[in-house]
Amino acid sequence: MPEQARPYPKAKPHVLSGRGRKKGSTKILTDTPVKRQIEEQEAERKDKKARGGRARGKVGTVGRAGKSKKDQTTKKLFVDSEESDDEKMVLDDDSDDSMKLGESEDESEKEEEIFDSVSTGDFVKVVYKGEYFPGSVQEKNENSVRVSVMCMAGLRKWKWPDREDSIFYPREDILKKLSPPTPAPGTASRATSYFVFADW
């Protein structure tokens, strides 16, 4: 038989664990000596627990407010850090405002310089609804100029439209003054000439 040649394995003997509840004997809890012993054991257990808590609490020196110096130092460092961050934000805001103010002043001065240098007959670069056009100044008043603009005829090539396209542009839309255009190569023999701007 197979079980005779190789018997079934047996379970190992049960080993009692050292953990768990402490062994005790049967007691009458209301009996005076037993009750007093239980109370003394409970008081001793609480006393040990209290001593352990006080020992763990001796990490830092306690200050006047009942907090350790370590906690007070950490809080002070945190407050100083917040204050320095706030000051930095204020300084950054001031510097950003001054930079924006300086940039706007520079742009205003540049616009004034370009506008003052333009006169009737000059060529200028203007912006209209986000697109750029070259044109000839036809008229100038205190705050704007009337420009007859050209239309695009290829890569950096321009031509005069069949119908004049001229309107008044405010001074901020006059981007730069251009040199007079020159005929594009190979267009001299055509009926419609194309022009290029060297400083576009």
pLDDT tens, residue by residue, 55-102? 555 444 444 555 555 555 555 555 555 555 555 555 555 556 656 566
Give domain limits for the chain. 68-117, 119-196
Q: Do 168 and 144 form a contact (C-beta atoms < 8 A)?
A: yes
Quote the DSSP letter at residue 99. Answer: H
Q: Helix, strand, or coil here: 35?
A: helix
Closest CA to 177 of 141, 137, 138, 144: 137
What pLDDT sits at residue 145?
95
What pLDDT sits at residue 16?
63
Contacts for 102-110 with beta carbons within 8 Å, 24 or more apart? none
